[in-house]
């Protein structure tokens, strides 16, 4: 009555709070270990670590998870040490099932942060691609592109891997994509774009996944991945027989050295004896899928060409006493092939031509790249290739000088191939000199094909959507006001419900134009934003419709490269030693590895774990009042 002691309810509450705090501290240490392993892609499990034998712990390898547990104990974590020493065998909270449950919750928390950003943005684009994992299961990677309104930055965030259990037909993939987006809590009515590769099941005009989704949601425009378009351009442009023969030889040389350590040592010996040892010591194989990436392999081959000839000659000189019959036979054949004028000319000319598309390859893969900037980069490359084609004699003459220097380094004289009156199996271009022959047989056809293929494959897929890019100040000031108004009106009809007030768009566009006319007069043309991403931060509350228009345009996809980046994480997380991993665990670990910028709230993870999986150890104080 005098208040010198606490009442029984308060004592009970305080005792429960202390136990809950201690239990949460134990689980917090376990969760932090899981987060560390996920962030750094450290495999959790060892040999039979699901139920570690404490007596045999010193002699058995129980996996990285238990090693990190022991490390924390040795570092002075007394709470965790007491838990490991005294916890009942069925309440250690360290089993594989508990790990999976915690990883699921952590992954859901990261995914929810992304979904919340997307909801704040309003509109989003889906980027998807499928790949076969190490367990021979078809996995669909789903990425969301949106504008982060807090930073005005365009983001492309991976959210989930989904197994294509129903197949990879257009109908099955369309249903899988829409069902997954719905399960994330997103409104498909806000879907404004789709980006996939050019496979028939995804991009088919009638039965592809994109067409089926667009049929239900007409504003979800499909744009073919620009990087895949560029890849197809290179594939189509390098179909000449001389080029195909050259690439076949490069592949055979790479296999020759890669399959035998002794052969690789012979190449390294040749490099060590060279006057100027190149930085490259290994022949790279040609990438099977990304043809633009073959440039790296061709460049390294060109750098090693002289040393390869020296190495092959050394193998032939050492003869049967040092080498097997297969090594001698292959070395002799490959030496003849790489010292042929056709091979050297094709290697040099293809290298020089592919250099023009190397920059745009990286440019198109940038997450913040918008459609108009991508198309501008494409037009720049097209114009450059056309200029090289017009000045063919000059540029080809420079390249053939490189061909002659490579030939001289291996004591080969450039010569014309044997020609005849009628030939259908190889190039039979009539020419008087080698420089003229290879200009007509290689340089001109490659450049012509590249220009025509770029113009054919990079035609705008949706001219209505591209018309909205007239709102970019640098483009707006280059056209008349009437032309800009007419282009914007098409978008107002398509996205009428998305604008604050579509009827005031013309007046707002006029004010927007005057704003940038003044900026140009005061600060010069360099002050004008040239892309959607650059213009978006300048769209203040005075221009609500312009802000909506720019945000919609920024949301439209350029490539599906972000999905393919997630494949790299997939290969690291789900490798041959972890091939039975379930998709929920796979997604959770991938989210941890990919999204280092999204912090994990450990307290919220414990609360959600207590709600989803009530267990013996009490983690929430139900008597505590907020």
Q: Are residues 431 and 453 in the same domain?
A: yes
d(CA 352, CA 355): 5
pTM: 0.76
Q: Do 556 and 465 contact (CB within 8 A), yes or no?
A: yes
How far apart are the C-alpha atoms of 389 and 452, rounded to whole Å? 12
Report residue 295: phi and psi, to 5°: -60, -40
Same domain, 408 and 504: no
Residues 473-505 have pLDDT tens digits of 888 888 888 888 887 877 777 777 888 887 888
Q: Let me know if residue 623 belongs to a domain.
A: no
355 contacts 447 by C-beta, under 8 angstroms:
no
* C-alpha–C-alpha distance, residues 173 and 193, integer Å: 16
Tell which of 427, 457, 487 closes a domain: 457
pLDDT value of residue 11 = 45
Q: Looking at the domain assignment, is residue 593 inside a domain?
A: no
Distance between CA atoms of 29 and 79, rounded to whole angstroms? 9
Q: What value, to the nearest 5°, has the Cα angle with vertex 414 and ends 409 and 417?
A: 140
Q: Are residues 346 and 238 in the same domain?
A: yes
Regions of the chain short of the pLDDT cut 50: 9-11, 49-50, 54, 623, 625-626
Residue 155's domain spans which residues? Answer: 102-223+558-585
- 624 inside domain: no
Based on the fold, state whether residues 31 and 123 are members of the same structural domain.
no
Cα-only R_g, the chain: 31
> Do 145 and 272 sit in the same domain of this protein?
no
Asked, for residue 35, whether it belongs to a domain, the answer is yes
Same domain, 364 and 310: yes
Sequence-ordered list of residues with C-beta below 8 angstroms from that of 594, at least 6 positions apart, any chain: 158, 566, 569
* 617 within domain boundaries: no
pLDDT of residue 370: 62
**Same domain? 68 vs 106:** no
Verify that 475 and 435 share a domain, yes or no.
no
From 408, 430, 457, give the residue that closes a domain. 457
Write down which residue in 457, 481, 512 finishes a domain: 457
Same domain, 366 and 430: yes
Whether 496 and 394 share a structural domain = no
Residues 6+ positions from 555 with CB-CB distance below 8 Å: 121, 123, 124, 125, 145, 146, 147, 154, 192, 193
Tally of structural domains, the chain:
4
Q: Answer yes or no: do 315 and 393 share one domain.
A: yes
Distance separating alpha carbons of residues 150 and 117, to the nearest angstrom: 9
The single residue listed with the structure tokens 């997954």 is 180
């Amino acid at each position: 009555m005098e208040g010198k002691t606490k009442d029984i309810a308060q004592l009970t509450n305080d005792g429960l709070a202390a136990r809950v705090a201690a239990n949460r501290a134990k689980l917090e240490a376990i969760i932090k270990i899981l987060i560390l392993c996920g962030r750094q892609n450290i495999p959790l499990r060892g040999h039979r670590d699901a139920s570690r034998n404490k007596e045999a712990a010193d002699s058995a390898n129980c996996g990285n998870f238990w090693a990190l547990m022991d490390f924390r104990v040795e570092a002075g974590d007394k709470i965790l040490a007491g838990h490991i020493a005294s916890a009942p065998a069925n309440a250690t909270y360290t089993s594989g099932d508990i790990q999976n449950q915690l990883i699921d919750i952590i992954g859901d928390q990261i995914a929810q942060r992304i979904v919340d950003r997307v909801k704040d943005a309003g509109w989003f684009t889906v980027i998807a691609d499928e790949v076969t994992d190490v367990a021979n299961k078809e996995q669909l990677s789903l990425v969301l592109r949106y504008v982060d309104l807090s930073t005005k930055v365009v983001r492309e965030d991976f959210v989930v891997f989904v197994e294509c259990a129903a197949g990879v037909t257009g109908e099955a993939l369309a249903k899988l994509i829409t069902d997954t987006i719905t399960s994330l809590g997103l409104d498909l009515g806000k879907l404004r774009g789709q980006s996939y590769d050019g496979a028939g099941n995804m991009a088919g005009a009638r039965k592809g996944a994109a067409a089926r989704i667009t049929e239900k949601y007409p504003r979800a425009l499909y744009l073919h991945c620009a990087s895949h378009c560029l890849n197809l351009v290179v594939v189509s442009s390098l179909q000449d027989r001389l080029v195909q023969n050259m690439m076949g030889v490069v592949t055979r040389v790479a296999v020759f050295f890669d399959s035998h350590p002794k052969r690789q040592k012979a190449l390294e010996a040749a490099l060590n004896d060279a006057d100027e040892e190149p930085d490259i010591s290994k022949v790279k194989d040609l990438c099977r899928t990304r043809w633009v990436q073959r440039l790296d392999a061709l460049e390294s081959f060109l750098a090693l060409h002289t040393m390869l000839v020296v190495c092959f000659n050394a193998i032939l000189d050492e003869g049967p006493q040092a080498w097997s019959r297969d090594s001698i036979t292959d070395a002799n054949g490959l030496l003849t092939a790489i010292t042929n004028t056709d091979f050297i000319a094709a290697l040099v000319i293809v290298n020089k031509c592919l250099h023009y598309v190397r920059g745009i390859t990286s440019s198109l893969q940038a997450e913040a790249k918008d459609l108009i900037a991508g198309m501008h980069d494409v037009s720049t490359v097209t114009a450059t290739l056309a200029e090289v084609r017009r000045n063919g004699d000059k540029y080809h003459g420079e390249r053939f000088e490189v061909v002659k220097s490579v030939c001289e380094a291996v004591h080969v004289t450039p010569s014309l191939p044997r020609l005849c009156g009628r030939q259908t199996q190889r190039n039979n271009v009539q020419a008087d000199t080698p420089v003229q022959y290879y200009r007509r047989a290689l340089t001109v056809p490659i450049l012509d094909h590249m220009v025509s293929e770029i113009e054919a494959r990079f035609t705008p897929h949706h001219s209505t959507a591209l018309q909205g890019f007239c709102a970019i100040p640098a483009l707006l000031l280059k056209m008349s006001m009437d032309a800009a108004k007419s282009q914007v009106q098409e978008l107002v009809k398509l996205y009428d419900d998305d604008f604050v007030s579509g009827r005031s768009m013309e007046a707002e566009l006029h004010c927007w134009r005057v704003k940038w006319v003044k900026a140009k007069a005061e600060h010069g043309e360099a002050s004008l934003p040239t892309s959607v991403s650059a213009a978006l931060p300048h769209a203040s509350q005075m221009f609500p419709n312009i802000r909506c228009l720019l945000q919609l345009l920024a949301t439209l996809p350029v490539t599906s490269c972000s999905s393919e980046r997630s494949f790299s994480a997939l290969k690291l997380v789900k490798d041959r030693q972890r091939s039975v991993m379930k998709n929920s665990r796979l997604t959770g670990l991938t989210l941890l590895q990919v999204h280092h910028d999204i912090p994990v709230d450990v307290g919220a993870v414990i609360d959600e774990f207590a709600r989803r999986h009530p267990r013996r150890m009490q983690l929430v104080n139900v008597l505590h009042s907020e």
